[in-house]
Amino acid sequence: MTKEMQVLVGMGWRAFRPTVAVYVLGSVGYMFLLLWLYPSIVHAPGLESVLATLPKSLTATLGLTAGFANPLAYLASEYYGTIDLWALMIFTVVGVVRLLAQGPDRGFAWAWLAGPVSRAQWIMSQGFVFILGLFVFTLVGMLSTPVALAIWDRGQHPTPEILVALNLLSFLLFFALAGMTAVCASAFRDDDRALNTAGAIMALEYLLSLVGGLTPHLVWLRRLSLFGWYRPADIVAHGWHRVWPGALGLFFIGTLLWIAAIWLFRRRDLSL
């Protein structure tokens, strides 16, 4: 990394750090709350029988295949499969658009882009800042899981492999979705439009994954969605061995999307 890029990364991280802190604290706080509530949920009369009456496709769609029999399965469906996903979706769209699009589109990035850096260096530095934020988000979530289980004494200590697999796939999923958002940020000359478009695509991807899980006939819809690669309940239920194809696929797609975003940004006009 060149000296100029280090300066850009430092500036970007200084601006982005408070946002990362808010999301991380909110997300981890919610994880602690979920585990605190776990005994009252698992001991709710009739919950298992209600789940048993639901069609298998619906429990799969809702990420409840592992049931609520143990706290990790509960966290996989209610935290990793729901709240964490939603928080990361907002974090990704808002964060990437803010770092990559707002400066050039609203005009305040002139001072940095008129500096001795190429456009590729600029967008790579901002992308690096986002990925660093995503890494911190994921890492804190991963380290908090055993801590939260221990604090509430839920009697289960997840294997490191399961924890790493859950968080690695989550990281790579949002690395790829951030690449898609970066493409929107580079393609449009209006950050509001980039935000709306990337948000709509992400919501559509999520919806495809949900609907694709309802029936075997619609499973092809799930395959169209990046979210289809990430099924936390399955990882907890079946182990971490099957995550590598998904991890490699997400890494490959994400890298391609980021390269496309850099290519587009290098060619666009800037009203600075």
Partner 1 sequence: MIQVHRLSKQFSPGRGIHELSFTVERGEATGLIGPNGAGKSTTLRCLMGFVRPTHGYARVAGKNCWQEAAAVHRLVGYLPGDVVLPETMKGRRFLEDIQRLRGVSGPPTRLNSLLARFDLNPDQAIRLMSKGTRQKLAIIAALVSDPAVLILDEPTSGLDPLMQQAFLSLMDEERARGKTVVLSSHIFSEVARVCDQVAVLKDGHIVAMDAMARLRAEQEILFDVTMSQAPTTEALNGLKIVDRRDLVFTVAVQGDYFRFVRTLANLPVSHLEQRTQSLETLFRHFYSDGVTHP
Binding region for partner 1 (CB under 8 A): 3-4, 7-8, 11, 15, 106-108, 110-119, 121, 267, 269-272
Q: How far apart are CA 254 and CA 257, in angstroms?
A: 5
CA 242 to chain CA centroid, Å, is 20
Taking Cα atoms as reference points, which of 62, 76, 73, 95 lies closest to residue 174?
95
Using the minimum distance from each CB to partner 1, give the nearer residue, 80 or 188: 188
Using the minimum distance from each CB to partner 1, give the nearer residue, 109 or 243: 109
Longest dimension (CA), the chain: 66
Cβ-contact 121, 5 below 8 angstroms: yes
Report the nearest approach of partner 1 to the CB of residue 98 (Å): 11
What single letter denotes the amino acid at residue 131? Answer: I
Report the nearest approach of partner 1 to the CB of residue 17 (Å): 12
Q: What are phi and psi of 268, to 5 degrees?
A: -80, 160
DSSP state of 80: I
Taking Cα atoms as reference points, which of 191, 176, 155 lies closest to residue 229?
176
Report the nearest approach of partner 1 to the CB of residue 105 (Å): 10
Report the nearest approach of partner 1 to the CB of residue 196 (Å): 22
Q: How far apart are CA 48 and CA 140, in angstroms?
A: 31
Report the nearest approach of partner 1 to the CB of residue 119 (Å): 7
Using the minimum distance from each CB to partner 1, give the nearer residue, 4 or 234: 4
Report the nearest approach of partner 1 to the CB of residue 8 (Å): 7
Using the minimum distance from each CB to partner 1, give the nearer residue, 86 or 110: 110
Using the minimum distance from each CB to partner 1, give the nearer residue, 29 or 107: 107
Q: How far apart are CA 98 and CA 105, in angstroms?
A: 10
Using the minimum distance from each CB to partner 1, give the nearer residue, 15 or 224: 15
Cβ-contact 126, 8 below 8 angstroms: yes
